[in-house]
Amino acid sequence: MRILFPAVLLLWIAATGPVAAQEPTPPLLIRDVTLIDGTDGPPRPHHDVMVRDGRIETVAPTGGFDAFEGRVIDGSDRFLIPGLVDAHVHLAGGRRAAAEQQLRWLLEGGVTSVRDMAGDARMLAGLQQSLITGEISGPRLDYVALLAGTAFMSDPRLQAATRGYAEGESPYMIPVNEDTDAGAVVRLAKGTGATGVKLYAALDPAQVEALTAAAHEVGLQVWAHSAVFPARPVEILEAGVDGVSHAPYVIWDAAEPTPDFTLRAVGDFQGVPPDGAAMDRVVDAMVRAGTVFDPTLFVFERQAEADDDTARARAAWGAAFTRRAHEAGVIIAAGTDNAGAPLAGAWPHVHEEMELLVERAGLSPLDALRAGTRGGAAALGDLAHRGTVEPGKLADLVLLSADPTLDIAHSTAIERVFQGGRVVR
Ligand SMILES: [Zn+2]
């Protein structure tokens, strides 16, 4: 037994990933609800969803649970969706107490999973552990170790996140140069508890390819900025990364890469049409590779609110490209690039990201909702356990009092939030 137990435990961790604390809870029945399950199917009225041991056990037309023993919640005139996923947050930029407050605010706002796209992994690992044990409450948390060319190592954000380490020596923000052993680097990254690596900046195509292959070999996801310089967007996609972030930066496939990666936000947004032949190449590469794309319209929209022509052009271009990508069948994930400070009375910003996907990028409300649920689970590489309301999946659910397929703003008509079958709001 002493020998077997750790092996079994490891298998369990590999099979499920991090899960929130599972105190025994009675079975739960959500009765007679309109189910918007995150799959390609249409909404289904009059359905029952039965949850046991934190997982969805049965989804069936109403009427099969007359003698149900457990907690029953009346779903009539209500709408059940999968828990929302913000596929792009940064939680560990300040104090732990602030991150804890933010996590609580996210969960109560319907966000049951987040992907943190770079920060102090020591803090993120601690937060993840506290979430799993139930010591604090918040979304399930996955995070990254960041790999970038040495040009990035002097960035003040990196220096803040790696305080206490000699420059370039943290295992979660790792400098990469032509002598780097890709296998050694991804094993370091794996040891931080990260779900994936983030390829950030100043990498050439050969480095992107080597790091991607090595990361996949040790079971890490690979997520990249859509332009990392000098590698071009299509070169990143063809290297087989699992996801790319930020719509406007793909414009660099149509231009000479700037030697200074910090200029990536200043593309030729007037000159390069987002639906022209050059960008078709990017879209085709995304479709061929099945890449998950988080355009992060929210953060560019916020930048555009400052009175700045470039920022406005960048936001509009990014939205137009996202429209084109969605029409071609690219998998979209809703990510904000900023979970934001918890504001009294404000909803988590992923709701606004879904609204922008509808208003600016032409998605239907149902497609935007999929981007905020199944798309996010795809971004995490965890469709096996999250993202849809189907038997066997984690019971992360949101009950709404208004139909989000009529108006995506109804995603905030939140009555209850369930995580692992427990009512958390
Ligand atoms: Zn980011």
Ligand 1 centre to CA of 189 (Å) is 18
Ligand 1 centre to CA of 302 (Å) is 14
Task: Give the Å distances, CA to CA, from 123 to 196, 227, 236, 249, 413.
Answer: 16, 27, 29, 29, 32
Which amino acid, residue 374?
R
Query: Which alpha helices (H) appear in 163-261, and where do they start and end?
Result: 182-190, 205-217, 233-238
**pLDDT at residue 397, rounded to an integer:** 98
The domains found in the chain, sorted by start residue, are 16-79+402-423 (2.30.40.10), 85-386 (3.20.20.140)
Ligand 1 centre to CA of 209 (Å) is 22
**pLDDT at residue 371, rounded to an integer:** 98
Ligand 1 centre to CA of 157 (Å) is 12
How does pLDDT run across 186-235, given as a tens digit for each residue? 999 999 999 999 999 889 999 999 999 999 999 999 999 988 888 999 99
Ligand 1 centre to CA of 245 (Å) is 8
First to last CA, the chain: 40
Ligand 1 centre to CA of 329 (Å) is 24
Listed residues: CB within 5 A of ion ligand 1: 117, 337
Ligand 1 centre to CA of 51 (Å) is 34
**pLDDT at residue 139, rounded to an integer:** 98
Q: What is the DSSP string of 305-362?
A: HSS-HHHHHHHHHHHHHHHHHHHHTPEE----S------TTPPPTHHHHHHHHHHTT-
Ligand 1 centre to CA of 87 (Å) is 10
Residues 204/239, Cβ–Cβ less than 8 Å: no
What are phi and psi for residue 422, nearest 5 degrees? -95, 140
Ligand 1 centre to CA of 210 (Å) is 23
Ligand 1 centre to CA of 52 (Å) is 36
Ligand 1 centre to CA of 163 (Å) is 20
Q: Which residue has the tokens 């916020």?
A: 302
Q: What is the CA radius of gyration of the chain?
A: 21
Cα distance between residue 38 and residue 82, in whole Å: 7
Residues of the chain with pLDDT under 50: 1-17, 19
- Torsion angle (degrees, nearest 10) of CA 293, 114, 200, 383: -50
**pLDDT at residue 7, rounded to an integer:** 45
Cα distance between residue 7 and residue 339, in whole Å: 37
**pLDDT at residue 416, rounded to an integer:** 98
Ligand 1 centre to CA of 129 (Å) is 22
Q: Which two tokens stand for residue 335?
A: 């990510």
Name the E strands within 201-308.
221-225, 243-245, 292-294
Ligand 1 centre to CA of 118 (Å) is 7
Cα distance between residue 378 and residue 386, in whole Å: 9
Pairing of the two strands 196-199 and 140-149: parallel
Does pTM surpass 0.85?
yes
Ligand 1 centre to CA of 29 (Å) is 38
Residues in the chain: 425
What are phi and psi for residue 359, nearest 5 degrees? -75, -35
3-state secondary structure of 121: helix
